[in-house]
Structure 1
Amino acid sequence: MRKLLPIGIIIALVVIIGFWVIGIKNSALRYSQATEKEWGNVNTAYQRRNDLIGNLVNTVKGAADFEKGTLTAVIEARAKATSINVDPKNISPEQLAQFNQAQSGVSSALSRLLVTVEQYPTLKANENFLKLQDELASTENQILTARTRFNESVQAYNGYILAIPNSWFLGSYKEKGYFQAVAGAEKPVEVKF
């Protein structure tokens, strides 16, 4: 009986450690899934913006002598932004920077479009255009919220997988990147009337 006691203790310790490691891996999986879900929400918000841009461009095209170059820039920026795909399982800072740069190109082109629209009073009074402009503003807020929630989920995920002792057992889980502000975002916007 005394000979079996050490073996029983060793088996119990192995079982306890095994369940502990399984718990660590399952928690990492939950954090990873939460990050992927939030990435899906970010993509949904950007897809909504891209869909609205198509409607906005078609509405603006109706203005007789509207500047074609501005419309072309918006269309090209939208096409470039939709061509970049990021794998949510392996989101690296480099991939996010590339994605963010393409999306900022859309924002920039869209801003130029909306500034140019100011020169066309009939277009500014167009009810469809005003609705689309409001929807676009709402969508930009949704994008901000989705990006913030994504960064929060990445923080939780990275904190979990990088913490010791979790990092000892989670070598296959890689750190994920955060959304960063677009270069030059720290400078104040100059408004001229």
Structure 2
Amino acid sequence: MNKSKNWAFIPLAIIVIIVGFIIAGYYNTIQSLDESQEAAAAEVINQYKRRTDLITNLANTVKGYSDHEESIFTEIAASRAKLNEMQINPEDFQDAAKFEAYEQMQKSMKGQLSRLLMIVENYPDLKASSLYQNLMVQLEGTENRIAVARNRYIEAIREYNTTIRRVPHVFIAKIFGYNPLQQFSVDDPQIEQAPVISF
């Protein structure tokens, strides 16, 4: 009699093990997508930092030619200092307030770059400088990299959000506290375009 009772638990144990493997598979899928979106966010941050450094170098190059345009250089230095103080990391992209503040700082830097390029128009010797031209080529490349990095981040977030809303992933996501993540806002219609660079 005891043997038949023991045999009854075997199918139940097999079912529990199979369900456990299925749940682990769904959980691992969510983990992989979460890591992918964090890596994409890190790449966006990396490209923004590169742009900030290039703008600072460009500002220093232009400053030698135009000492009387002090306000733009002061603003660029102040913006760079604020960005350095933010110490943003990929996890901060999940905090709406930090995410918005970071986007606003990047929008401000882009505006300052446009103003800097307007100043450059008054200095033909500067536009002919190989240092200036090299910085502008690097800056244009960085703007393109930013667009690519942002698109990859948007795609990673789309895939993550879609997956955790689908059955059966939605149940695993709720159990482990995974929530949909926010995308970049598009309150600037020119956000994906590199600044116009003319020599």
User: Is TM > 0.5 for Structure 1 vs Structure 2?
Assistant: yes
Secondary structure at the aligned position of 2:99 is classed as helix
Assess, with a 3 A threshold, how the Cα gap between structure 1 residues 144 and 125 changes in structure 2: closer, same or farther: same
Paired letter, 2:138: E
CA contact (8 A) 1:42 1:146 kept: yes
Paired letter, 2:146: I
Mapped partners of 2:17, 2:56: distance in 1: 58
Is 2:83 the partner of 1:81? yes
Aligned to 1:118: 121
Aligned to 1:54: 56
User: Structure 1 residues 52-61 or 79-88, which shifts more?
Assistant: 79-88
Aligned to 2:40: 38
Paired letter, 1:147: R
Assess, with a 3 A threshold, how the Cα gap between structure 1 residues 87 and 76 changes in structure 2: closer, same or farther: same
Aligned to 2:142: 139
Mapped partners of 1:88, 1:133: distance in 2: 28
TM-score by length of 2: 0.84
Q: Report deviation, 1:4.
A: 4.0
Is 2:151 the partner of 1:148? yes
Match of 1:159 among 152, 157, 162: 162
Mapped partners of 1:141, 1:49: distance in 2: 11
Aligned to 1:173: 178
Assess, with a 3 A threshold, how the Cα gap between structure 1 residues 3 and 133 changes in structure 2: closer, same or farther: same
Secondary structure at the aligned position of 1:65 is classed as coil
Match of 1:103 among 101, 106, 112: 106
Listed as ranges, the gaps of 5+ residues in structure 1 are none
CA contact (8 A) 1:32 1:89 kept: no
RMSD of the TM alignment (CA)?
2.1
How many matched pairs?
A: 187
Identity %: 32
Listed as ranges, the gaps of 5+ residues in structure 2 are none
Mapped partners of 1:88, 1:106: distance in 2: 20
Assess, with a 3 A threshold, how the Cα gap between structure 1 residues 87 and 52 changes in structure 2: closer, same or farther: closer
TM-score by length of 1: 0.87
